[in-house]
C-alpha cells in the first residue's frame, strides 16, 4: 500500500523539520518546501494528497499559494491545511480563500495527523 503524500510549505527550518517528523511518524510520505514558491514548483512535479501551508512566508505567502492552487482546475480539489501562529484573522482569511482546514501553530500540531487522515479518508 502506498503512503499518502503531504507537501509542507514552511519557511522556518525547525518548524518544517518538526512537521516532517510528525507526519512521517504518522505514516505519510512528506515533501518539504522552504517557501511557497518552492512548493508551487514542486506541485508541477508531483501532486500531493494534502498540502500543509504556513500563512506567513517571504516572497509568496500561504494565502496566495492557496488562491493559486484553487485556481488550477487540476489541483483545486487537493485538501489544504493552513497553519499560522498569527492572529485568527489570518486563519479566517485562509479559510475564505480556500483552505480546507485551519490550525494554529504550534498549539494544534497534535491534531495534524488526525486531521490529514480525516481529509484523505484513512
What Cα–Cα distance (Å) separates residue 93 from each residue in 54, 76, 100? 13, 17, 12
Domain membership flag for residue 30: yes
Q: What's the pTM value of the predicted model, to 2 decimals?
A: 0.93
Q: Residue 6 is placed in which grid cell?
A: 503531504
Domain boundaries, position 71: 5-116
How crowded is residue 82: how many other Cβ atoms within 10 Å of its Cβ?
27
Q: What is the pLDDT of residue 2?
A: 73
Per-residue pLDDT band at 87 (split at 50, 70, 90): low
Per-residue pLDDT band at 89 (split at 50, 70, 90): confident
SS3 8: strand
Among 64, 14, 3, which residue's Cα sits nearest to residue 39? 64
How many whole angstroms separate alpha carbon 3 and alpha carbon 99? 23
SS3 31: strand
Give kind and range of the element (H or E) at residue 2: none
Domain membership flag for residue 121: no
Mean pLDDT of 57-69: 92
How many whole angstroms separate alpha carbon 62 and alpha carbon 86? 12
Calculate what percentage of the chain has a pLDDT beyond 90. 73
Domain membership flag for residue 78: yes
Looking up residue 47, the CATH number of its domain turns out to be 3.40.50.2300
Domain membership flag for residue 122: no
As for how many domains the chain has, the answer is: 1
Amino acid at each position: 500500500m502506498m503512503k499518502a503524500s503531504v507537501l509542507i510549505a514552511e519557511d522556518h527550518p525547525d518548524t518544517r523539520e518538526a512537521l516532517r517528523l510528525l507526519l512521517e511518524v504518522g505514516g505519510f510520505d512528506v515533501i518539504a518546501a522552504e517557501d511557497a514558491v518552492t512548493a508551487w514548483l514542486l506541485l508541477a512535479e508531483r501532486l500531493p494528497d494534502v498540502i500543509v501551508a504556513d500563512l506567513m512566508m517571504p516572497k509568496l505567502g500561504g494565502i496566495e499559494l492557496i488562491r493559486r492552487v484553487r485556481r488550477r482546475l487540476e489541483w483545486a480539489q487537493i485538501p489544504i491545511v493552513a497553519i499560522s501562529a498569527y492572529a485568527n484573522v489570518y486563519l479566517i482569511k485562509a479559510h475564505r480563500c480556500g483552505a480546507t482546514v485551519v490550525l494554529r501553530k504550534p498549539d494544534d500540531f497534535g491534531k495534524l495527523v488526525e486531521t490529514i487522515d480525516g481529509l484523505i479518508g484513512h
